Amino acid sequence: MARTKSRTRLSPVSHILAWAYGLLLVIPLYFLVISSFKDNTEIFSEPFALPRSWLPDNFVAAWETAVLGPGLLNSALITGGAELVSILVAVPAAFAIARSTGVLSALTERFFAAGLLIPAFAALVPTMLLAIAVGLFQTREFLVLFLAASVMPLSVLLLTQFMRTIPPELEESASMDGAGTGRILMSIYAPLTMPGIATVLILNFLTFWNEYLFTLSLLGPDVTLRTSQVALPGLVSQGYTEYGILLAGCLITMVPVYLVYILLQRHVEGALLQGAIKS
């Protein structure tokens, strides 16, 4: 990337490199979509060609073999449960930090800030031992509580940022009207923090829906409990894997995420950015 003669233009090399990388990101996705309509012979002999037929056979086979119906239902239950718990717990916590002053409040904020650096994976094995000890191993309830806990640092800190932008005058006039702390949270802070709550919900949706390793370890491979993410690799067989069926299964599990993305594109990108920048 030598210096360009023109002052404002980027060199052709930089365009080529940037778009080559873009292409590198798109090709696997193109391969994913077209291969999900092919059988192995067709995938391997004509990897880039459009499928000869667009019959949904692979999708039906993936749905049945990996038992994706119950899997998607479990994913939805766990994601929904964890979203509910995390918001119900994180909103009051953010409210408390944004609103109170003093050492304890600063310490609480620092506690969550430090948590951002701690990877959940570090605690995988003791978390499983905890689940066994409290008799909730291989239950959806434990996973819901664990997942909600794992997103606390980011959720609380993001919501705190949003709540700090609410002018204190609003609250002062409300408390003069005799509103208690709980009512101030519910009738002033929560509604005004809706954009922040939406951001956190989107961010956590991606985390919960896409989670794999903890879900596998804490919930086990039981067909009636496992999520779609855990069910998906079941389509790989030791002997002969039908890649078309496997990739069709991938697409099925990706549908909810892409639906959310298409409906809320701006918000999803904003949420991911805020999630990373505020950390």
Contacting another protein within 198-217 (CB under 8 A):
206, 209-213, 217
For another protein (CB under 8 A), the number of binding residues is: 113
Check if the beta carbon of residue 116 is closer than 8 Å to that of residue 152: no
Span 103-142, contacts to another protein by CB under 8 A: 104-106, 108-130, 132
- CA 14 to CA 275: how far, in whole Å? 29
Is 261 an interacting residue with respect to another protein (CB under 8 A)?
A: yes
Q: Which of 58, 79, 81, 99 binds another protein (CB under 8 A)?
A: 99
Is 226 an interacting residue with respect to another protein (CB under 8 A)?
A: no
Span 4-23, contacts to another protein by CB under 8 A: 4, 7-8, 10-11, 14-15, 18-19, 21-22
**Helix, coil or strand: residue 249:** helix
Binding pattern to another protein, positions 37-76, x when CB under 8 A? ------xx--x-----------------------------
CB of 125 to another protein, least distance (A): 5
Which residues lie closer than 8 Å to 37 by C-beta, 6 or more apart? 51, 53, 54, 55, 56, 58, 244, 248
Q: Which of 72, 190, 197, 235 binds another protein (CB under 8 A)?
A: 235
Span 25-44, contacts to another protein by CB under 8 A: 25-29, 31-32, 35, 43-44
Span 146-205, contacts to another protein by CB under 8 A: 146, 148-150, 152-153, 156-157, 161, 164, 168, 171, 181, 185
Check if the beta carbon of residue 185 is closer than 8 Å to that of residue 166: no
- CA 8 to CA 13: how far, in whole Å? 15
DSSP track, 80-133: HHHHHHHHHHHHHHHHHHHH--SHHHHHHHHHHHHHTTS-GGGGHHHHHHHHHH
Q: Which of 51, 81, 92, 196 binds another protein (CB under 8 A)?
A: 92
Is 89 an interacting residue with respect to another protein (CB under 8 A)?
A: yes
CB of 92 to another protein, least distance (A): 4
- CA 279 to CA 276: how far, in whole Å? 5
CB of 111 to another protein, least distance (A): 7
- CA 208 to CA 201: how far, in whole Å? 10
Q: Which of 90, 197, 200, 225 binds another protein (CB under 8 A)?
A: 90
CB of 170 to another protein, least distance (A): 12
Is 258 an interacting residue with respect to another protein (CB under 8 A)?
A: yes
Is 229 an interacting residue with respect to another protein (CB under 8 A)?
A: yes
DSSP summary character for residue 145: H
Question: Does an H or E element contain 263, and which?
Answer: helix 243-263
Question: Does an H or E element contain 216, and which?
Answer: helix 213-219
Structure tokens that stand for 1 in this block: 């990337």
